């Protein structure tokens, strides 16, 4: 049995890709807003933090 048959048996399956797209868009927007609204001095300070092994 193909995977397509499983999806057709679920009621209102079209909501899942729309919800995923909405979550991705909101997350991408928030990260983009954070990057462009942060001060350069704060980003320079964070770039000097060492990475643990």
User: Does the model's pTM come out above 0.85?
Assistant: no
Q: CA-CA distance, 12 to 25, in Å (whole number)?
A: 21
- Residue 47: its pLDDT value, please? 87
Condensed to tens digits (0 to 9), the pLDDT of residues 1-53 reads 577 777 777 788 788 889 999 999 999 999 999 999 999 998 899 888 888 76
Nearest one of 21, 23, 42 to 31, comparing CA atoms: 23
Residues 25 and 19: their CA atoms lie apart, in Å, by: 10
Q: Where are the domains of the chain?
A: 3-47
Dihedral sign computed on CA atoms, order 49, 50, 51, 53: negative
Q: Report how far residue 18's alpha carbon sits from residue 10's, in angstroms, rounded to the nearest whole number.
A: 15
Residues 51 and 45: beta-carbon distance below 8 Å: no
């Amino acid at each position: 049995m193909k995977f397509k048959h499983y999806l057709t048996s679920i009621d209102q399956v079209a909501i899942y890709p729309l919800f995923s797209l909405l979550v991705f868009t909101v997350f991408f927007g928030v990260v983009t807003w954070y990057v462009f609204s942060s001060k350069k001095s704060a980003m320079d300070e964070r770039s000097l933090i060492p990475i643990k092994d």
